[in-house]
Structure 1
Amino acid sequence: MDGRRVIEWTDGTWLNPPLRTETDSGGLVVTTRNRSDFWRTTSYGFVKDDGHALLTAFPAASAVEVTFIAQFDTLYDQAGLMIRVDENTWIKAGVEMTDGVPHVGAVVTSGKSDWSLSPVPDWHGRNVTLRASRAGDAVTVRARCEEGAWQMIRLAPLAPDADALAGPFCCSPQREGLQVRFTRFTLGPADASLHA
């Protein structure tokens, strides 16, 4: 498996435990708490840091992958991969429901959050994998649906000596009860190149 190792669900630590979790042969099913989110200030003026993330060490020169499936149906329902240094420094990348359509995107936060996204209507209800590769002073974030081609989502700064964590995340800023099935969580060597 190209030097990758599976991270067991029990090896991570929850930042803000969700309403409910269940494990079965298909993975980890997570149910979100009401109005959970990660955001800092920009445009909306509020700080939210109560979304759910199952985190483990994300050392330099490594890459983490998370695969999940969910039926997003409410504005801002979201799931994917989080990289976190502290409450002021983090990245979340994945699929988010916006304007009635699933979008793939990322929020990079360094004191304040930004947001970039692109519509992916054909990804709805399908397996999506997020991959973050840490090399030098940067993280390269890629995504793909099923076994499709990797798409680069973001190149973002991350200090080489930062003590970072990473893992699956989900939240539902407008409701309670989004269910996300995470089916894979792995760690391995960083990508050899910025370009796939």
Structure 2
Amino acid sequence: MRELAWSEGVWTTPPAHVVRGEDGLFVTASQGSDAWRVTSYGFVHDSEHALLVPFPIDTAVEVTFRLDFTEQFDQAGVFVRVDDEHWTKAGIERSDGVDGLGAVVTRGTSDWSLAPVPGWSGQLVTMRVSRTGDALTVRARTEISPWQLVRVAPLDPAATAAAGPFCCAPTRAGLTVHFTSWSVGAADSSLHQASP
């Protein structure tokens, strides 16, 4: 994997505040920032703070951040964007008082999957998304737990995509996410390998 400089990416929506430090990037999300399309809620939100670089086929992107969420729908992880109606966000989102690991896959309308990970709070979480063939493969781990498969989602192999770290704060002001690393490299060689 090749470590990326934070300056290599372009924001989809600039965050409220950004500080680059020796130990990473501190991103403060704007209140009301989110990414969602229609399903169940009926609204469209496209104000996520995603720092993106090109994401060609047969590559992977990894993002690591400190999990320290306290409010409803605080979220961070990896964002993969093709256009306004085709994107995937994968990471941790706090829902009903519990941190959940999951993904929102959007193809016109959004599809959300989430599983509780209450023991992950306070740890460094790494999200990894590989792009191979017609698929995105999402994996996650913490500094003390192994890789686990989160989601396999469709992505047109002909699509031009971009990917990178993201965060949102739909319900409050003041969420600051500490991203510690961002890297790119070769995609995972197998869907079912033990570790990428």
- TM-score range with shorter-chain normalisation? over 0.9
Equivalent of residue 141 in structure 2, options 122, 141, 144: 144
Q: Secondary structure at the match of 1:150?
A: strand
The structure 1 residue matched to 2:101, chosen from 88, 100, 104, is 104
Give a deviation string over 1:19-43, Cα, whole Å, max 9, x none: 0000111100000001110000000
SS class of match (2:119): helix
% identical equivalent positions: 55
Equivalent position of 2:61 in the other structure:
64
Root mean square deviation of aligned Cα = 0.7
Distance 1:41 1:86 in 2: 16
SS of equivalent residue, structure 1 residue 63: strand
Mapping for residues 1-196 of structure 1, pairs under 5 Å = 4-196=1-193
- How far, CA to CA, are the matches of 1:76 and 1:34 in structure 2? 11
**The residue matched to 2:173 in structure 1 has which SS?**
coil
Q: Which runs of 4+ in 1 moved over 3 A?
A: none
* Aligned 8 A contact 1:60 1:135 in 2: yes
For 2:19 and 2:122, locate their aligned partners in 1 and report how far apart those are by CA, in whole Å: 19
**Count of aligned pairs between the two proteins:** 193
Q: Distance in 1 between matches of 2:38 and 2:162?
A: 22
Normalization by structure 1: what TM-score?
Answer: 0.97
- Rounded to whole Å, the distance in 2 between the matches of 1:34 and 1:149 is 33
User: Residue 102 of structure 1: SS of its match in structure 2?
Assistant: strand
SS, match of residue 61 in structure 2: strand
Specify every segment of 5 or more residues in structure 1 that has no aligned partner in the other structure, as ranges: none
In structure 1, how many angstroms separate the alpha carbons of the residues matched to 2:46 and 2:173?
16
1:10 aligns to what SS in structure 2? helix
Return the alpha-carbon distance in structure 2 between the equivalents of residues 125 and 51 of structure 1. 23
How far apart are the structure 2 equivalents of 1:147 and 1:23? 26
- Aligned partner letter, 1:107: V
The CA deviation at 1:147 is: 4.1
Q: Distance in 1 between matches of 2:32 and 2:74?
A: 10
Q: Distance in 1 between matches of 2:17 and 2:122?
A: 21
Q: TM-score normalized by structure 2? A: 0.97
Contact persistence 2:100–2:117 (CA under 8 A): yes
Q: 3-state DSSP class of the match of 1:122? A: helix
Contact kept, 8 Å, 1:70 with 1:179, in 2: the verdict is: no
**In structure 1, how many angstroms separate the alpha carbons of the residues matched to 2:123 and 2:34?**
22
Q: Which amino acid aligns with 1:123?
A: W
